[in-house]
Amino acid sequence: MDLQIQNEIFVLIFNYLSLPDRFQAFYGLNSRINMILNSMPIKLDKLYDAQVRQYVLPNINPAQVHVLKVFHNGSEKRIDIQQFTNVQCLKFYLEPSINQLDHIRPTYLPHLTSLSLEKLSSLQFSDEYANLCKTICTEQFRKLKEVKLPYLDCKQVHFTPDCSNVLTHLEISYCTKSAFYMILENLSNLETFRVTISTNEQHQLATKHAHLRELYLTVRDEHDRMNMSMDELFGICRCLRDIKYIMISMFYSDTIQNACRDLNAMLSFCQSLEIFDFFIKIEKTNLNDANIDEIKQNYGHLKHTETYTYQIKKFYYCCIKKSYFN
């Protein structure tokens, strides 16, 4: 009877069902149904679920998995990811095993377009992680466009003439300042860069970045007191002429008046900027009874901005933002 129904109809029906229900109800009925189920792309994101382990994992073809999300509840560290040869999106919410980390390679995962490593602890300074970071920065992952890493320093990146020209979105939870500059100077097709800088070396951006459109920059150490000099920020903005959106969050060691002055000067370098969010943390002793709304009127780029302020203990927090910039 089912031979009269086109395969596409079965696919439509299966797409209305959850993955466990699909395999529990239909897998094993006949070879044709099995073939259809094993040919459909799969998003495997609940490996910890008992029904997934019982009905899905024993019956799927690993090559049909296009999205793999690993939470690492118990047995998930034993999953051999190199068998998922067609996976396009790979995400680890907790630290992978050392074998899993070592198997994130172009030879095993040639179709990878998105990679996310949320956390690393014991493997943060391992050779396997350093090798992965170096590979990400090259052209070996030919389709990898989006990457999220928990940490990066200059020892874990190595740029050669064959730098990646497909990586467009990069997020790094904690990054040394030297690695931050190396990325901007070498990954020329990067469009979105979200990063927290966690060291205080002094650098200057040497080359212009033509493609970066969005920069989310947080400057923070373990005491939340580290700041980046305004000269450094000026240098970055001079090299990001086509930037559309900037978010900067930092501790500012001077007065709120000088913060507004410096922000106004910085914005003058960004001729294409459309949106900016500037979050600063200032010690109360540097306020001098200043009124932020009055101060802004002295600077052309700040006159029509939105401002939010609040105080916690001995610190003053200020957000200056503009949703449309001319």
What is the per-residue pLDDT across 181-212, written as a single tens digit (0 to 9) for each?
Answer: 889 888 889 999 999 997 666 666 766 766 89
Measured in whole angstroms, the distance separating CA 101 from the mean position of its chain's CA atoms is 18
Q: What whole-number distance in Å separates Cα of residue 108 and Cα of residue 65?
A: 14
Q: Nearest Cα to 128, choosing from 170, 100, 157, 87?
A: 100
Tell me if 189 is assigned to some domain.
no
Tell me if 71 is assigned to some domain.
no
pTM above 0.75, yes or no: yes
Q: What is the DSSP string of 134-199?
A: HHHTBSSSTT--EEEEEEE-GGG----TTB-SS--EEEEEEE-HHHHHHHHHH-TT--EEEEEE--
Tell me if 243 is assigned to some domain.
yes
Tokens representing 301 are 């780029």
Tell me if 287 is assigned to some domain.
yes
Region class of 28: left (phi > 0), else alpha (psi between -120 and 50), else beta: left
What is the per-residue pLDDT across 115-131, written as a single tens digit (0 to 9) for each?
Answer: 999 988 888 889 999 99
Predicted local confidence at residue 1, as pLDDT: 44
Q: Is 208 helix (H, G, I), strand (E, B) or coil?
A: coil
What proportion of the chain, given as a percentage, has pLDDT over 90?
Answer: 44
Q: What whole-number distance in Å separates Cα of residue 39 and Cα of residue 41?
A: 7
Residue 20 has pLDDT above 90, yes or no: yes
Tell me if 306 is assigned to some domain.
yes
Predicted local confidence at residue 325, as pLDDT: 47
**Residue indicated by tokens 């008046």:** 257
Q: What is the DSSP string of 58-104?
A: TT--GGGEEEEEE---GGGGG--GGG-TT--EEEESSPPPHHHHHT-
Predicted local confidence at residue 122, as pLDDT: 85
Tell me if 302 is assigned to some domain.
yes
Tokens representing 97 are 């095993």
Tell me if 132 is assigned to some domain.
no
Tell me if 316 is assigned to some domain.
yes
Q: What whole-number distance in Å separates Cα of residue 280 and Cα of residue 274?
A: 20
The contacts of residue 1 (CB under 8 Å, 6+ apart) are none
The contacts of residue 161 (CB under 8 Å, 6+ apart) are none
Residue 67 has pLDDT above 80, yes or no: yes
Q: What whole-number distance in Å separates Cα of residue 166 and Cα of residue 310?
A: 42
Look up the domain containing 271 and give its range: 204-326
**Per mean pLDDT, which range of 66-70, 234-238, 242-246 is the poorest?**
234-238
**Per mean pLDDT, which range of 93-97, 290-294, 308-312 is the poorest?**
290-294
What proportion of the chain, given as a percentage, has pLDDT over 70?
Answer: 87
Measured in whole angstroms, the distance separating CA 262 from the mean position of its chain's CA atoms is 28
* Tally of domains in the chain: 1
**Per mean pLDDT, which range of 4-8, 33-37, 103-107 is the poorest?**
4-8
